[in-house]
Structure 1
Protein backbone atom coordinates (compact mmCIF):
# COMPACT_ATOMS: atom_id res chain seq x y z
CA UNK A 1 0.00 0.00 0.00
CA UNK A 2 1.48 3.35 -1.06
CA UNK A 3 1.48 6.38 1.19
CA UNK A 4 1.00 9.98 0.06
CA UNK A 5 4.22 11.89 -0.48
CA UNK A 6 5.10 15.11 1.34
CA UNK A 7 4.22 17.04 -1.81
CA UNK A 8 0.80 15.41 -1.99
CA UNK A 9 0.16 16.15 1.70
CA UNK A 10 1.13 19.81 1.21
CA UNK A 11 -1.15 20.10 -1.82
CA UNK A 12 -4.02 18.51 0.13
CA UNK A 13 -3.54 20.99 2.97
CA UNK A 14 -3.39 23.91 0.52
CA UNK A 15 -6.64 22.68 -1.06
CA UNK A 16 -8.22 22.49 2.42
CA UNK A 17 -7.32 26.11 3.13
CA UNK A 18 -8.36 27.26 -0.36
CA UNK A 19 -11.85 25.76 -0.13
CA UNK A 20 -12.34 26.90 3.48
CA UNK A 21 -11.50 30.54 2.74
CA UNK A 22 -13.44 30.52 -0.53
CA UNK A 23 -16.51 29.16 1.27
CA UNK A 24 -16.15 31.87 3.93
CA UNK A 25 -16.22 34.47 1.14
CA UNK A 26 -19.19 32.86 -0.65
CA UNK A 27 -21.13 32.53 2.63
CA UNK A 28 -20.35 36.17 3.56
CA UNK A 29 -18.36 35.25 6.68
CA UNK A 30 -15.59 37.22 4.97
CA UNK A 31 -16.72 40.39 3.22
CA UNK A 32 -14.97 42.57 0.61
CA UNK A 33 -12.37 44.63 2.44
CA UNK A 34 -12.10 42.27 5.44
CA UNK A 35 -8.48 41.78 6.45
CA UNK A 36 -6.82 38.68 7.85
CA UNK A 37 -3.34 37.27 8.34
CA UNK A 38 -1.69 34.05 7.34
CA UNK A 39 -1.06 33.30 11.01
CA UNK A 40 -4.77 33.68 11.86
CA UNK A 41 -5.78 31.24 9.13
CA UNK A 42 -3.03 28.78 10.00
CA UNK A 43 -4.15 28.73 13.63
CA UNK A 44 -7.86 28.45 12.82
CA UNK A 45 -7.40 25.66 10.28
CA UNK A 46 -4.64 23.92 12.22
CA UNK A 47 -2.07 23.97 9.42
CA UNK A 48 1.30 25.62 8.85
CA UNK A 49 1.71 28.93 7.01
CA UNK A 50 3.07 27.26 3.86
CA UNK A 51 -0.24 25.74 2.64
CA UNK A 52 -2.04 28.91 3.77
CA UNK A 53 0.20 31.03 1.57
CA UNK A 54 -0.22 28.64 -1.38
CA UNK A 55 -4.00 28.79 -1.02
CA UNK A 56 -4.10 32.57 -0.71
CA UNK A 57 -2.01 33.14 -3.81
CA UNK A 58 -4.36 30.81 -5.68
CA UNK A 59 -7.33 32.85 -4.45
CA UNK A 60 -5.51 36.03 -5.48
CA UNK A 61 -5.01 34.69 -9.03
CA UNK A 62 -8.75 34.00 -9.21
CA UNK A 63 -9.61 37.51 -8.03
CA UNK A 64 -11.00 36.71 -4.57
CA UNK A 65 -8.19 38.04 -2.35
CA UNK A 66 -5.23 40.38 -2.51
CA UNK A 67 -2.07 40.82 -0.48
CA UNK A 68 -1.63 44.14 1.35
CA UNK A 69 1.99 45.21 1.68
CA UNK A 70 3.11 44.68 5.30
CA UNK A 71 -0.51 44.31 6.38
CA UNK A 72 -1.44 40.73 5.50
CA UNK A 73 -4.33 39.93 3.19
CA UNK A 74 -7.82 41.17 2.45
CA UNK A 75 -10.87 40.03 0.53
CA UNK A 76 -10.81 41.86 -2.78
CA UNK A 77 -13.39 44.59 -3.30
CA UNK A 78 -16.09 43.94 -5.89
CA UNK A 79 -15.31 45.10 -9.43
CA UNK A 80 -18.80 45.97 -10.70
CA UNK A 81 -17.73 46.49 -14.32
CA UNK A 82 -16.16 43.01 -14.31
CA UNK A 83 -19.35 41.39 -12.98
CA UNK A 84 -21.53 43.20 -15.52
CA UNK A 85 -19.34 41.93 -18.37
CA UNK A 86 -19.72 38.39 -17.03
CA UNK A 87 -23.51 38.81 -16.93
CA UNK A 88 -23.46 39.95 -20.58
CA UNK A 89 -21.56 36.80 -21.52
CA UNK A 90 -23.99 34.70 -19.50
CA UNK A 91 -26.93 36.16 -21.44
CA UNK A 92 -25.30 35.22 -24.77
CA UNK A 93 -24.59 31.63 -23.70
CA UNK A 94 -27.96 30.94 -22.13
CA UNK A 95 -29.94 32.55 -24.95
CA UNK A 96 -28.19 30.30 -27.46
CA UNK A 97 -29.01 27.32 -25.26
CA UNK A 98 -32.69 28.31 -25.08
CA UNK A 99 -32.88 28.73 -28.88
CA UNK A 100 -31.66 25.16 -29.26
CA UNK A 101 -34.05 23.85 -26.60
CA UNK A 102 -37.03 25.52 -28.27
CA UNK A 103 -36.09 23.81 -31.52
CA UNK A 104 -36.57 20.42 -29.86
CA UNK A 105 -39.90 18.63 -29.69
CA UNK A 106 -41.84 19.26 -26.46
CA UNK A 107 -41.24 15.68 -25.34
CA UNK A 108 -37.45 16.00 -25.81
CA UNK A 109 -37.17 19.36 -24.08
CA UNK A 110 -39.38 18.12 -21.24
CA UNK A 111 -37.13 15.08 -20.85
CA UNK A 112 -33.94 17.18 -20.95
CA UNK A 113 -35.29 19.51 -18.25
CA UNK A 114 -37.24 16.94 -16.22
CA UNK A 115 -35.40 17.71 -12.96
CA UNK A 116 -35.98 21.45 -13.39
CA UNK A 117 -39.66 20.90 -14.13
CA UNK A 118 -39.98 18.74 -11.01
CA UNK A 119 -38.33 21.33 -8.75
CA UNK A 120 -39.62 24.66 -10.08
CA UNK A 121 -43.13 23.65 -11.21
CA UNK A 122 -44.22 20.54 -9.32
CA UNK A 123 -42.44 20.58 -5.93
CA UNK A 124 -43.45 22.78 -2.95
CA UNK A 125 -41.81 26.20 -2.87
CA UNK A 126 -38.71 26.50 -0.67
CA UNK A 127 -38.13 29.59 1.44
CA UNK A 128 -34.48 28.98 2.34
CA UNK A 129 -32.36 31.37 0.28
CA UNK A 130 -29.23 29.23 0.26
CA UNK A 131 -31.09 26.19 -1.07
CA UNK A 132 -32.89 28.22 -3.73
CA UNK A 133 -29.60 29.81 -4.78
CA UNK A 134 -28.06 26.37 -5.39
CA UNK A 135 -31.14 25.23 -7.31
CA UNK A 136 -31.05 28.44 -9.35
CA UNK A 137 -27.49 27.65 -10.42
CA UNK A 138 -28.60 24.12 -11.29
CA UNK A 139 -31.47 25.49 -13.40
CA UNK A 140 -29.20 27.66 -15.52
CA UNK A 141 -26.59 24.89 -15.80
CA UNK A 142 -29.32 22.56 -17.04
CA UNK A 143 -30.32 24.95 -19.82
CA UNK A 144 -26.77 24.99 -21.16
CA UNK A 145 -26.01 21.32 -20.50
CA UNK A 146 -29.08 20.36 -22.56
CA UNK A 147 -27.28 21.64 -25.67
CA UNK A 148 -24.85 18.71 -25.20
CA UNK A 149 -22.03 21.08 -26.20
CA UNK A 150 -19.20 20.32 -23.78
CA UNK A 151 -17.36 23.60 -24.39
CA UNK A 152 -20.55 25.62 -23.80
CA UNK A 153 -21.09 23.77 -20.55
CA UNK A 154 -17.48 24.15 -19.37
CA UNK A 155 -17.42 27.88 -20.12
CA UNK A 156 -20.77 28.36 -18.40
CA UNK A 157 -19.61 26.55 -15.26
CA UNK A 158 -16.50 28.73 -15.03
CA UNK A 159 -18.62 31.82 -15.57
CA UNK A 160 -21.16 30.75 -12.94
CA UNK A 161 -18.51 30.31 -10.28
CA UNK A 162 -17.12 33.79 -10.92
CA UNK A 163 -20.49 35.43 -10.30
CA UNK A 164 -21.71 32.92 -7.70
CA UNK A 165 -21.16 35.24 -4.75
CA UNK A 166 -23.29 37.94 -6.39
CA UNK A 167 -26.08 35.52 -7.23
CA UNK A 168 -26.19 34.09 -3.72
CA UNK A 169 -26.49 37.58 -2.31
CA UNK A 170 -29.59 37.99 -4.48
CA UNK A 171 -31.29 35.16 -2.56
CA UNK A 172 -31.06 36.80 0.84
CA UNK A 173 -34.33 38.61 -0.03
CA UNK A 174 -37.73 36.90 0.05
CA UNK A 175 -39.05 38.92 -2.89
CA UNK A 176 -36.19 37.71 -5.10
CA UNK A 177 -36.90 34.09 -4.14
CA UNK A 178 -40.57 34.50 -5.12
CA UNK A 179 -39.67 36.26 -8.36
CA UNK A 180 -37.16 33.53 -9.29
CA UNK A 181 -39.81 30.82 -8.96
CA UNK A 182 -42.24 32.79 -11.12
CA UNK A 183 -39.64 33.59 -13.77
CA UNK A 184 -38.20 30.07 -13.97
CA UNK A 185 -41.67 28.59 -14.35
CA UNK A 186 -42.50 31.01 -17.15
CA UNK A 187 -39.23 30.24 -18.96
CA UNK A 188 -39.83 26.49 -18.71
CA UNK A 189 -43.42 26.78 -19.99
CA UNK A 190 -42.23 28.83 -22.98
CA UNK A 191 -39.52 26.25 -23.78
CA UNK A 192 -41.91 23.31 -23.49
CA UNK A 193 -44.33 25.05 -25.88
CA UNK A 194 -41.52 25.96 -28.34
CA UNK A 195 -42.21 29.67 -27.87
CA UNK A 196 -38.68 30.75 -28.70
CA UNK A 197 -39.13 34.54 -28.75
CA UNK A 198 -41.07 34.46 -25.49
CA UNK A 199 -38.50 32.22 -23.81
CA UNK A 200 -35.60 34.42 -24.94
CA UNK A 201 -37.35 37.58 -23.76
CA UNK A 202 -38.16 36.06 -20.37
CA UNK A 203 -34.64 34.72 -19.89
CA UNK A 204 -32.98 37.99 -20.91
CA UNK A 205 -35.19 39.98 -18.54
CA UNK A 206 -34.54 37.47 -15.76
CA UNK A 207 -30.75 37.71 -16.02
CA UNK A 208 -30.79 41.48 -16.66
CA UNK A 209 -32.71 41.93 -13.41
CA UNK A 210 -29.93 40.14 -11.53
CA UNK A 211 -27.31 42.15 -13.42
CA UNK A 212 -28.97 45.44 -12.43
CA UNK A 213 -28.95 44.37 -8.78
CA UNK A 214 -25.15 44.25 -8.85
CA UNK A 215 -24.94 48.05 -8.76
CA UNK A 216 -27.16 48.12 -5.68
CA UNK A 217 -24.79 46.07 -3.55
CA UNK A 218 -23.68 48.01 -0.49
CA UNK A 219 -21.55 47.17 2.53
CA UNK A 220 -24.71 47.35 4.66
CA UNK A 221 -26.40 44.73 2.48
CA UNK A 222 -23.35 42.49 2.69
CA UNK A 223 -23.32 42.79 6.46
CA UNK A 224 -27.01 41.86 6.52
CA UNK A 225 -26.20 38.79 4.42
CA UNK A 226 -23.48 37.83 6.91
CA UNK A 227 -25.92 38.08 9.82
CA UNK A 228 -28.48 36.02 7.90
CA UNK A 229 -25.88 33.34 7.14
CA UNK A 230 -24.98 33.13 10.83
CA UNK A 231 -28.53 32.51 11.99
CA UNK A 232 -28.84 28.80 12.92
CA UNK A 233 -31.44 26.84 10.98
CA UNK A 234 -33.67 24.09 12.35
CA UNK A 235 -34.92 21.04 10.49
Structure 2
Protein backbone atom coordinates (compact mmCIF):
# COMPACT_ATOMS: atom_id res chain seq x y z
CA UNK A 1 0.00 0.00 0.00
CA UNK A 2 1.42 3.41 -0.99
CA UNK A 3 1.85 6.02 1.68
CA UNK A 4 0.03 9.32 1.17
CA UNK A 5 2.32 12.16 0.03
CA UNK A 6 3.34 14.59 2.77
CA UNK A 7 1.19 17.66 3.31
CA UNK A 8 3.74 19.95 1.66
CA UNK A 9 3.77 17.74 -1.43
CA UNK A 10 -0.03 17.73 -1.65
CA UNK A 11 -0.16 21.51 -1.35
CA UNK A 12 2.49 21.93 -4.05
CA UNK A 13 0.62 19.62 -6.43
CA UNK A 14 -2.67 21.42 -5.78
CA UNK A 15 -0.90 24.73 -6.50
CA UNK A 16 0.37 23.39 -9.84
CA UNK A 17 -3.12 22.21 -10.78
CA UNK A 18 -4.52 25.60 -9.75
CA UNK A 19 -2.05 27.45 -11.98
CA UNK A 20 -2.61 25.06 -14.91
CA UNK A 21 -6.41 25.39 -14.82
CA UNK A 22 -6.27 29.16 -14.31
CA UNK A 23 -3.93 29.54 -17.28
CA UNK A 24 -6.23 27.32 -19.37
CA UNK A 25 -9.09 29.72 -18.58
CA UNK A 26 -6.95 32.76 -19.45
CA UNK A 27 -5.80 31.12 -22.70
CA UNK A 28 -9.40 30.15 -23.62
CA UNK A 29 -8.63 26.43 -23.57
CA UNK A 30 -11.55 26.39 -21.14
CA UNK A 31 -14.24 28.83 -22.28
CA UNK A 32 -16.76 30.75 -20.15
CA UNK A 33 -19.77 28.50 -19.61
CA UNK A 34 -17.85 25.33 -20.51
CA UNK A 35 -18.57 22.35 -18.27
CA UNK A 36 -16.07 19.78 -17.10
CA UNK A 37 -15.63 17.19 -14.38
CA UNK A 38 -12.97 16.57 -11.76
CA UNK A 39 -12.28 13.20 -13.37
CA UNK A 40 -11.64 14.78 -16.78
CA UNK A 41 -9.16 17.25 -15.34
CA UNK A 42 -7.47 14.59 -13.22
CA UNK A 43 -6.96 12.42 -16.33
CA UNK A 44 -5.64 15.32 -18.43
CA UNK A 45 -3.27 16.42 -15.68
CA UNK A 46 -2.35 12.86 -14.68
CA UNK A 47 -3.02 13.48 -11.00
CA UNK A 48 -5.57 12.24 -8.48
CA UNK A 49 -8.88 14.00 -7.90
CA UNK A 50 -7.78 15.40 -4.51
CA UNK A 51 -5.45 18.18 -5.78
CA UNK A 52 -7.91 18.89 -8.60
CA UNK A 53 -10.76 19.38 -6.14
CA UNK A 54 -8.64 21.60 -3.89
CA UNK A 55 -7.54 23.73 -6.85
CA UNK A 56 -11.11 24.09 -8.13
CA UNK A 57 -12.41 25.22 -4.75
CA UNK A 58 -9.66 27.86 -4.66
CA UNK A 59 -10.64 29.01 -8.17
CA UNK A 60 -14.29 29.08 -7.11
CA UNK A 61 -13.46 31.43 -4.24
CA UNK A 62 -11.74 33.74 -6.71
CA UNK A 63 -14.74 33.71 -9.04
CA UNK A 64 -13.30 31.81 -12.02
CA UNK A 65 -15.36 28.60 -11.80
CA UNK A 66 -18.55 27.40 -10.12
CA UNK A 67 -19.71 24.00 -8.97
CA UNK A 68 -22.93 22.65 -10.47
CA UNK A 69 -25.25 20.51 -8.38
CA UNK A 70 -24.59 16.86 -9.31
CA UNK A 71 -23.18 17.81 -12.69
CA UNK A 72 -19.54 18.78 -12.18
CA UNK A 73 -18.02 22.19 -12.69
CA UNK A 74 -18.35 25.11 -15.08
CA UNK A 75 -16.12 28.01 -16.05
CA UNK A 76 -17.98 31.05 -14.81
CA UNK A 77 -19.77 33.01 -17.50
CA UNK A 78 -18.72 36.61 -18.08
CA UNK A 79 -20.40 39.15 -15.81
CA UNK A 80 -20.07 42.29 -17.91
CA UNK A 81 -21.32 44.64 -15.18
CA UNK A 82 -18.59 43.29 -12.90
CA UNK A 83 -15.88 43.85 -15.51
CA UNK A 84 -17.06 47.41 -16.17
CA UNK A 85 -16.85 48.17 -12.46
CA UNK A 86 -13.26 46.89 -12.46
CA UNK A 87 -12.47 49.15 -15.41
CA UNK A 88 -13.89 52.14 -13.50
CA UNK A 89 -11.64 51.30 -10.56
CA UNK A 90 -8.63 51.01 -12.90
CA UNK A 91 -9.30 54.49 -14.27
CA UNK A 92 -9.40 55.97 -10.75
CA UNK A 93 -6.21 54.20 -9.66
CA UNK A 94 -4.15 54.86 -12.79
CA UNK A 95 -5.23 58.49 -13.03
CA UNK A 96 -4.00 59.01 -9.47
CA UNK A 97 -0.72 57.40 -10.51
CA UNK A 98 -0.46 59.87 -13.42
CA UNK A 99 -1.10 62.83 -11.10
CA UNK A 100 1.72 61.67 -8.83
CA UNK A 101 4.08 61.16 -11.75
CA UNK A 102 3.30 64.68 -12.97
CA UNK A 103 4.26 65.99 -9.53
CA UNK A 104 7.85 64.76 -9.85
CA UNK A 105 10.48 66.17 -12.19
CA UNK A 106 10.40 65.28 -15.87
CA UNK A 107 13.88 63.75 -15.53
CA UNK A 108 12.81 61.46 -12.69
CA UNK A 109 9.69 60.47 -14.62
CA UNK A 110 11.82 59.53 -17.65
CA UNK A 111 14.14 57.46 -15.48
CA UNK A 112 11.20 55.60 -13.91
CA UNK A 113 9.66 54.82 -17.30
CA UNK A 114 12.75 54.45 -19.50
CA UNK A 115 12.02 50.79 -20.34
CA UNK A 116 8.44 51.62 -21.34
CA UNK A 117 9.59 54.54 -23.49
CA UNK A 118 11.99 52.29 -25.39
CA UNK A 119 9.50 49.44 -25.80
CA UNK A 120 6.53 51.49 -27.05
CA UNK A 121 8.49 54.01 -29.11
CA UNK A 122 11.75 52.55 -30.35
CA UNK A 123 11.75 48.74 -30.25
CA UNK A 124 10.34 46.64 -33.09
CA UNK A 125 6.56 46.32 -32.58
CA UNK A 126 5.17 42.96 -31.55
CA UNK A 127 2.44 41.45 -33.70
CA UNK A 128 1.21 38.44 -31.72
CA UNK A 129 -1.77 39.08 -29.45
CA UNK A 130 -0.65 37.40 -26.24
CA UNK A 131 2.83 39.02 -26.03
CA UNK A 132 1.26 42.42 -26.72
CA UNK A 133 -1.34 41.82 -24.01
CA UNK A 134 1.40 40.97 -21.51
CA UNK A 135 3.40 44.04 -22.56
CA UNK A 136 0.28 46.19 -22.18
CA UNK A 137 -0.22 44.88 -18.64
CA UNK A 138 3.44 45.66 -17.90
CA UNK A 139 3.01 49.25 -19.17
CA UNK A 140 0.10 49.99 -16.87
CA UNK A 141 1.82 48.24 -13.97
CA UNK A 142 4.91 50.43 -14.56
CA UNK A 143 2.81 53.60 -14.26
CA UNK A 144 1.51 52.51 -10.88
CA UNK A 145 4.82 51.05 -9.72
CA UNK A 146 6.59 54.35 -10.42
CA UNK A 147 4.55 55.98 -7.62
CA UNK A 148 6.42 53.77 -5.11
CA UNK A 149 3.14 53.09 -3.32
CA UNK A 150 3.05 49.37 -2.52
CA UNK A 151 -0.67 49.29 -1.75
CA UNK A 152 -1.48 50.92 -5.08
CA UNK A 153 0.58 48.26 -6.81
CA UNK A 154 -1.00 45.37 -4.89
CA UNK A 155 -4.49 46.58 -5.76
CA UNK A 156 -3.54 47.20 -9.37
CA UNK A 157 -2.00 43.72 -9.70
CA UNK A 158 -5.22 42.16 -8.44
CA UNK A 159 -7.30 44.24 -10.86
CA UNK A 160 -5.03 43.34 -13.76
CA UNK A 161 -5.39 39.62 -13.15
CA UNK A 162 -9.18 39.82 -12.88
CA UNK A 163 -9.38 41.75 -16.15
CA UNK A 164 -6.81 39.71 -18.05
CA UNK A 165 -9.29 37.33 -19.65
CA UNK A 166 -11.23 40.26 -21.14
CA UNK A 167 -8.30 42.48 -22.04
CA UNK A 168 -6.44 39.78 -23.92
CA UNK A 169 -9.32 39.43 -26.36
CA UNK A 170 -8.64 43.01 -27.45
CA UNK A 171 -5.28 41.96 -28.82
CA UNK A 172 -6.68 39.36 -31.21
CA UNK A 173 -7.25 42.33 -33.57
CA UNK A 174 -4.42 44.01 -35.48
CA UNK A 175 -6.03 47.45 -35.26
CA UNK A 176 -6.14 47.22 -31.46
CA UNK A 177 -2.45 46.28 -31.33
CA UNK A 178 -1.53 49.30 -33.48
CA UNK A 179 -3.75 51.61 -31.43
CA UNK A 180 -2.14 50.41 -28.20
CA UNK A 181 1.33 51.32 -29.42
CA UNK A 182 0.17 54.78 -30.51
CA UNK A 183 -1.77 55.49 -27.32
CA UNK A 184 0.97 54.31 -24.95
CA UNK A 185 3.52 56.46 -26.79
CA UNK A 186 1.24 59.52 -26.55
CA UNK A 187 0.64 58.99 -22.82
CA UNK A 188 4.37 58.75 -22.15
CA UNK A 189 5.13 61.91 -24.16
CA UNK A 190 2.51 63.85 -22.20
CA UNK A 191 3.96 62.60 -18.92
CA UNK A 192 7.53 63.49 -19.88
CA UNK A 193 6.39 66.98 -20.89
CA UNK A 194 4.47 67.24 -17.57
CA UNK A 195 1.24 67.95 -19.41
CA UNK A 196 -0.87 66.40 -16.68
CA UNK A 197 -4.36 67.14 -18.00
CA UNK A 198 -3.45 65.78 -21.42
CA UNK A 199 -1.93 62.63 -19.90
CA UNK A 200 -5.06 62.10 -17.79
CA UNK A 201 -7.31 62.59 -20.81
CA UNK A 202 -5.30 60.20 -22.98
CA UNK A 203 -5.11 57.53 -20.28
CA UNK A 204 -8.82 57.75 -19.49
CA UNK A 205 -9.69 57.48 -23.19
CA UNK A 206 -7.31 54.55 -23.62
CA UNK A 207 -8.85 52.54 -20.76
CA UNK A 208 -12.40 53.60 -21.69
CA UNK A 209 -11.98 52.16 -25.19
CA UNK A 210 -11.23 48.77 -23.68
CA UNK A 211 -14.15 49.16 -21.31
CA UNK A 212 -16.51 50.00 -24.19
CA UNK A 213 -15.42 46.86 -26.03
CA UNK A 214 -16.32 44.58 -23.12
CA UNK A 215 -20.00 44.17 -24.00
CA UNK A 216 -19.12 43.52 -27.64
CA UNK A 217 -17.29 40.35 -26.71
CA UNK A 218 -19.35 37.36 -27.75
CA UNK A 219 -19.00 33.63 -27.47
CA UNK A 220 -18.16 33.62 -31.18
CA UNK A 221 -15.16 35.85 -30.56
CA UNK A 222 -14.07 33.61 -27.71
CA UNK A 223 -14.18 30.60 -30.01
CA UNK A 224 -12.18 32.56 -32.59
CA UNK A 225 -9.57 33.39 -29.96
CA UNK A 226 -9.38 29.74 -29.00
CA UNK A 227 -8.88 28.67 -32.63
CA UNK A 228 -6.13 31.26 -33.02
CA UNK A 229 -4.34 29.86 -29.99
CA UNK A 230 -4.74 26.30 -31.23
CA UNK A 231 -3.25 27.12 -34.63
CA UNK A 232 -0.30 28.61 -32.75
CA UNK A 233 0.32 25.23 -31.18
CA UNK A 234 -1.31 25.90 -27.81
CA UNK A 235 -3.46 22.86 -27.08
CA UNK A 236 -4.97 21.28 -24.00
CA UNK A 237 -1.74 19.31 -23.80
CA UNK A 238 -0.42 22.44 -22.09
CA UNK A 239 -2.62 21.61 -19.12
CA UNK A 240 -0.85 18.32 -18.55
CA UNK A 241 2.60 19.76 -19.23
CA UNK A 242 2.06 22.53 -16.68
CA UNK A 243 1.90 20.08 -13.77
CA UNK A 244 5.11 18.23 -14.57
Length-normalised TM-score, structure 1: 0.96
Query: Corresponding residue for 1:111?
Result: 111
Counterparts of 2:66 and 2:112 in 1: how far apart (Å)?
41
In structure 2, the residue matched to 1:91 is: 91
Cα distance, 1:232 vs structure 2: 2.3
2:22 aligned with 1:15: no
Q: Which residue of 2 aligns with 1:131?
A: 131
Task: Tell me the residue number matched to 2:34.
Answer: 34
Q: Which secondary structure state, in structure 2, belongs to the residue aligned with residue 220 of structure 1?
A: helix
Partner of 2:142: 142
Aligned to 1:220: 220
Structure 2: unaligned runs, 5 residues or longer: 234-244
- What SS does structure 2 have at the residue aligned with 1:66? strand
Q: Distance in 2 between matches of 1:172 and 1:132?
A: 10
Q: Distance in 2 between matches of 1:14 and 1:219?
A: 30
2:179 aligned partner: 179
Higher relative contact order structure (alpha carbons within 8 Å, sequence separation ≥ 6): 2
Deviations 1:49-86 (A, max 9, x none): 01100000000100100011111001000011110010
Q: Provide the aligned C-alpha RMSD in A.
A: 0.9
Distance in 2 (CA, whole Å) between partners of 1:181 and 1:124 is 11
Q: Any gaps of 5 or more consecutive residues in structure 1?
A: none
* Residue 197 (1) aligns with residue 201 (2): no
TM-score normalized with structure 2 length: 0.92
d(CA) in 2 for partners of 1:46, 1:231: 25
Runs of 4+ displaced beyond 4 Å: none
